[in-house]
Amino acid sequence: MGYLEMDLTLSDEAKAMHETIRKFGLEVMRPAGIKLDKMADPEQVIAKGSVLWDVIKTSRELGIHKRGIPKAFGGMLEDMDPKVGPRMAEEMGYADAGLSICLGVSAFPMTFAMMSPEPELQQLVRDYCEDTKGEIIGCWAITEPDHGSDWILGTNPKFTDPKCAPSVRAVLKGDEYIITGQKSAWVSNGTIATHATLHVCLDPSKGMQGGGLAVVPLNLPGITRGKPLDKIGQRALNQGEIFFEEVKLPKKYMVITDGALMSAIAKMILTNANGGMGQAFVGLAQAAYDEALKYAKERVQGGVPIFEHKNIKLQLFNMFIKVEAARAYARRMAAYNHATAPNGSSPHAIAAKVLSTSTAFEVAHEAITIFGGVGLTKEYLIEKLFRDARAAMIEDGENNALSLSGAEDLI
Ligand SMILES: Cc1cc2nc3c(=O)[nH]c(=O)nc-3n(C[C@H](O)[C@H](O)[C@H](O)COP(=O)(O)OP(=O)(O)OC[C@H]3O[C@@H](n4cnc5c(N)ncnc54)[C@H](O)[C@@H]3O)c2cc1C
């Protein structure tokens, strides 16, 4: 038994599940992520025949998409040992961080569809659980061109300035909401999603506190998409704008209409999203450390493997300490937030996200020093890990903005 699997309380079933995800990560996600990262045009990532679709399809066949959904909807939540979730997230982040986010965010709209009493939305969740082909894909549409960190800091009840009101507006007319506005190019899966969790403004006079949340089928008339975003890291994670022009959304799809409730839900969403990031990016930190250790044993300078040089030894051990500390904290945070679900603790989740992503970045950066010049080339995985880790420090909230939000909650 390896160190990472060591847990005397894990059942054989849980261990088998962990092993399945590790295999899927190393055999399917990792090679696909490398291939997708090298594609010059992000349109190629989502083109017919791209390996992205093989990853999504295999994850569906394995049932990864329904791990957080209760059995009543066809999911497997009750069968999941809470200790396995963080390990699965670590394995997927280890394999390819961008793809792990692509797969994770896909289930987002289902969380809110489940909250609705509407039979149509409940059926959507059942269809999603049964979907083994990747025909139903979700996204989380929150960021707008004019409102990025506003959404992160806007969960604070003090954030009521009408100047900061979100720009995607929904106005109730009879039995329909008319939706107008634009979500930014940062929407993960925005280019391929069939359904969105859409954050809207219902009452601009209340600023960020006048929000609502809808589950939106993205084939409604008036919805269009932008071109896939071309960015430096997590290139396997396709992202793009979503435009809404006088979109008529049946009233039943607006799941949350109460501004005060919406603020509490937004906090819960950030807690869950950041908790997940905290777990996944420990995986990336581990991957960067593993690559550096492997290279240090292979590369010979001064007549010996560079691992024999004291500076390299000390640097590797320092990286090892950082990864172990981040993982221990992320797992502890996950256990605490599971025990205190559905709210969990936002400062703990944010602390895990900030710690894991900055650890991943620092470890990848230090690994490049160990690689020397070749660490900067496309020949080795480490430069991709470095780019993927950098993107994570902005993803789901720039780390400083998140820390400000977490600090408010401490007070
Ligand atoms: C890989 C990746 C995946 C993402 N996925 C999604 C997704 O699925 N869905 C989605 O909707 N969005 C997504 N995002 C967007 C992400 O949430 C935003 O980029 C992030 O919240 C920061 O917003 P911004 O880029 O507009 O930066 P800005 O808000 O413009 O911030 C710029 C700088 O100013 C600082 N700043 C801003 N406001 C304040 C303030 N009030 N006080 C102090 N400092 C402040 C910030 O800390 C930051 O350093 C993703 C981003 C990345 C990188």
CATH of residue 356: 1.20.140.10
- Looking up residue 43, the CATH number of its domain turns out to be 1.10.540.10
Of 264, 218, 248, 252, residue with least CA distance to 116: 252
Residue 268 and residue 194: Cα distance in Å, rounded? 24
Contact 138, 105 (CB under 8 A): yes
The count of structural domains within the chain is: 3
Q: What pLDDT is recorded for position 6?
A: 64
Q: Whose CA is nearest to atom 53 of ligand 1?
A: 395
| Ligand 1 geometric centre to CA of 231 (Å) | 14
| Ligand 1 geometric centre to CA of 42 (Å) | 21
| Ligand 1 geometric centre to CA of 206 (Å) | 21
| Ligand 1 geometric centre to CA of 401 (Å) | 8
CA angle 86–91–95, rounded 5-degree value: 145
Q: Which residues pair with 248 in a beta bridge?
A: 178
What tokens appear for 40 in the block? 């010059």
288 and 177 inside one domain: no
Structural domain boundaries, residue 8: 3-130
Best substitution site from 396, 399, 403, 408 to test ligand 1's pocket, by max atoms within 8 Å of Cβ? 396
274 and 366 inside one domain: yes
pLDDT digit string (tens) for the chain, length 411 residues = 566 666 767 888 888 989 999 999 999 999 999 999 999 999 999 999 999 999 999 999 999 999 999 999 999 999 888 889 999 999 999 999 999 999 999 999 999 999 999 999 999 999 999 999 999 999 999 999 999 999 999 888 778 889 889 999 999 999 999 999 999 999 999 999 999 999 999 999 999 999 999 999 999 999 999 999 999 999 999 999 999 999 999 999 999 999 889 989 999 999 999 999 999 999 999 999 999 999 999 999 999 999 999 999 999 999 999 999 999 999 999 999 999 988 899 999 999 999 999 999 999 999 999 999 999 999 999 999 999 999 999 999 999 999 999 999 998
223 and 357 inside one domain: no
109 and 234 inside one domain: no
Q: How far is CA 89 from CA 93, 225, 281, in A?
A: 6, 29, 8
Q: Whose CA is nearest to atom 14 of ligand 1?
A: 186
Q: What pLDDT is recorded for position 9?
A: 77
180 and 81 inside one domain: no
Final residue in a domain of this structure, among 201, 229, 260 = 260
253 and 267 inside one domain: no
| Ligand 1 geometric centre to CA of 148 (Å) | 4
116 and 180 inside one domain: no
267 and 403 inside one domain: yes
| Ligand 1 geometric centre to CA of 370 (Å) | 31
Residue 120 and residue 125: Cα distance in Å, rounded? 9
| Ligand 1 geometric centre to CA of 89 (Å) | 23
| Ligand 1 geometric centre to CA of 395 (Å) | 7
| Ligand 1 geometric centre to CA of 73 (Å) | 33
Question: Of all atoms in ligand 1, which is nearest to the CA of residue 142?
Answer: 11
Residues with CB under 6 A from ligand 1: 105, 140-143, 148-149, 152-153, 186-188, 234, 391, 394-398, 400-401, 404
Final residue in a domain of this structure, among 203, 227, 260 = 260
Q: Whose CA is nearest to atom 21 of ligand 1?
A: 397
Q: Whose CA is nearest to atom 10 of ligand 1?
A: 187
Residue with tokens 């025990």: 339
163 and 247 inside one domain: yes
Residue 61 and residue 65: Cα distance in Å, rounded? 9
Final residue in a domain of this structure, among 236, 260, 284 = 260
Question: Of all atoms in ligand 1, which is nearest to the CA of residue 183?
Answer: 11
Residue 161 and residue 210: Cα distance in Å, rounded? 10
Q: What pLDDT is recorded for position 61?
A: 97
85 and 148 inside one domain: no
- For residue 340, give every residue at least 6 positions away whose Cβ sits within 8 Å of its Cβ, in sequence order, or none: none
Best substitution site from 143, 357, 390 to test ligand 1's pocket, by max atoms within 8 Å of Cβ? 143
270 and 381 inside one domain: yes
Contact 31, 37 (CB under 8 A): no
Q: Whose CA is nearest to atom 35 of ligand 1?
A: 401
- Looking up residue 149, the CATH number of its domain turns out to be 2.40.110.10
What tokens appear for 274 in the block? 């950041």
Q: What pLDDT is recorded for position 259?
A: 87
Residue 98 and residue 103: Cα distance in Å, rounded? 9
40 and 125 inside one domain: yes
Q: Whose CA is nearest to atom 38 of ligand 1?
A: 149
pTM equals 0.96
